[in-house]
């Protein structure tokens, strides 16, 4: 009986984590970013439970890990990398 309860709790927890990561993937999609991340929007990044703040920090950390060569402009962003990792 304990194993069934444990398995049920683990499956519900896994479902909730998967749903939150799916929501995070949606929050860094093009339509959401173009609509909400405009200049002067006081609602960006939204507070918890929205994943915007930790996605923003994760983007900054990935950008700091790969800043690009000095004296050049970086021609790619970190959003595709983040989306790939969230889907994985």
The domain locations on the chain are: 17-87
Q: How many residues belong to the chain?
A: 88
Instruction: Tell whether the model's pLDDT for residue 12 goes beyond 90.
Output: yes
Residues 6+ apart with CB under 8 A from 25: 83, 86, 87
Q: In this predicted model, what pLDDT tens digit does every residue of 33-75 receive, in sequence order?
A: 777 777 777 777 888 888 888 888 888 888 888 777 788 777 7
Residue 63, classified by CB atoms within 10 Å of its CB into exposed (0-12), middle (13-18) or buried (19+), is: middle
Distance from C-alpha of 4 to C-alpha of 61, rounded to nearest angstrom: 40
Sequential DSSP letters for 26-50: HHTSHHHHHHHSSTT-TTSSPPTTS
């Amino acid at each position: 009986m304990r194993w069934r309860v444990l398995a049920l709790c683990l499956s519900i927890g896994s479902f909730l984590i998967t749903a939150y990561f799916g929501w995070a993937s949606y929050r860094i999609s093009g339509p959401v970013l173009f609509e909400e991340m405009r200049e002067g929007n006081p609602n960006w990044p939204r507070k918890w439970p929205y994943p915007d703040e930790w996605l923003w920090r994760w983007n900054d950390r990935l950008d700091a890990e790969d800043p690009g060569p000095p004296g050049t402009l970086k021609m790619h962003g970190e959003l595709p990398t983040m989306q790939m990792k969230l889907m994985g």
